[in-house]
Amino acid sequence: VRPILRDRTECYECVTKPAQEKTYPGCTIRNTPSEHIHCTVWSLAECADVFCQSVTALSRRKSALTENSILHWDKDDEDAMRFVASSANIRATIFGIPPMAGNIIPAIATTNAIVAGLVVVEALKIISGDLDKLRAVFINQAPNPRGKILVDQVPFAPNPNCFVCSAKRECHIKMNPEQMTVKALQDKVLKGALNMAAPDVMEATTSRIIISSEEGETADLEAKTLSELSIANGAMLMCDDFQQKLELKVILHESKTLKGDEYEILQDSGEAKENVDESRKRKSMASPEVHDGETAAKRILLFNVPVVWEV
């Protein structure tokens, strides 16, 4: 759980994120079955037999472990899956719910409860005005040498080189104005790279609106290149994303070597983005968990204070 407050902590874009691998959530397995077991429904008697067998198998494995060792959950562990599936079906029967598929991947309710509790703790600090007590909290997969599962750290201050959370919200982008279209600028650069949701863009010199968040208002400009709109090297675009309360200046740098919708995001010095700010590349004390290849960022407005909870 990482509280993010504008002008006080680094933003979501500054946080180093692990490489994401495309996977499919197990909760959709009944909609897209790929194996016979995905379509199998056990009877109550079968659930009871499987439950007893799995408990026996897991108990035997636990007894073989060294002292203070524990069994770890793994969705690819057949004994663990049979235990969870049979337990879920037995419990469902108790409450009058029809049995579910035999091979299920359950939600980890305990982790969800811990994260929800941590979010509330940090939210209470914001409500009470104790912003100096805010902490980023991580859940370890196993206790650390000090025996702790939860590890916290003071949130990092805004990154002075970030165009989102720095006081100087300005971004330099290299592109080929003769080939970059307005549509590509909107979708690939502003929405794709700069993570804007619904940008409004005005050319600073002429005050002409070239991109509007109002549907259809600038549709006739989407196929035009920037050079056709007299936007060239050194042009300044004033970008405003009302949904995220983000105002950003984008300065264009011309490059004949870039083709089509290719672009590079630069810093003020002209260095490529990936080559700067090495000092801020660090590993957290405990990396946040990634489930199904995704991390979730939950954005809320708390007492008119923009807050992002990274979970």
Please, which pLDDT band fits residue 139 given cuts at 50, 70 and 90? confident
Query: Which pLDDT does position 271 carry in this prediction?
Result: 43
Looking at every residue in the chain, the average pLDDT score rounds to 78
On whether residue 125 sits in a domain, the answer given is: yes
* Residue 3 sits in the same domain as residue 149: yes
Total domains in the fold of the chain: 3
Looking at the fold, whether 33 and 17 belong to one and the same domain comes out as: no
Cα angle 148, 142, 17 (rounded to 5 degrees) comes to 95
Structure tokens at 44: 């109550």
Residue 120: inside a domain: yes
Give the separation between CA 74 and CA 59, rounded to whole angstroms: 16
- The reported pLDDT for the residue numbered 166 is 72
Average pLDDT over residues 130-138: 91
- The domain in which residue 30 lies consists of 26-102
CB 246 within 8 A of CB 240: yes
Does residue 143 lie in a domain region? Answer: yes
Q: pLDDT at position 300, please? A: 40
165 flagged as catalytic: no
Assess whether 205 and 246 both reside in one domain.
Answer: yes
In a domain, 163, yes or no: no
Categorize the per-residue pLDDT at 296 as very low, low, confident or very high, splitting at 50, 70 and 90.
very low
pLDDT, tens digit (0-9, with 9 covering 90-100), for 233-284: 999 999 999 888 888 899 999 999 999 889 998 864 344 444 333 333 333 3
Give the tens place of pLDDT for each residue, 199-214: 999 999 889 999 999 9
> For residue 61, what is the domain's CATH number?
1.10.10.520
Catalytic position from the list 11, 14, 27, 39: 27
**Long-range contacts formed by 253-260: CB under 8 A, 24+ apart:** 253/172, 253/173, 253/174, 253/175, 254/174, 254/175, 254/176, 254/177, 255/174, 255/175, 255/176, 256/176, 257/176, 258/174, 258/175, 258/176, 258/179, 259/176, 259/179, 260/176, 260/179, 260/180, 260/184
Residues in a beta bridge with 100: none
Residue 159: the pLDDT is 81
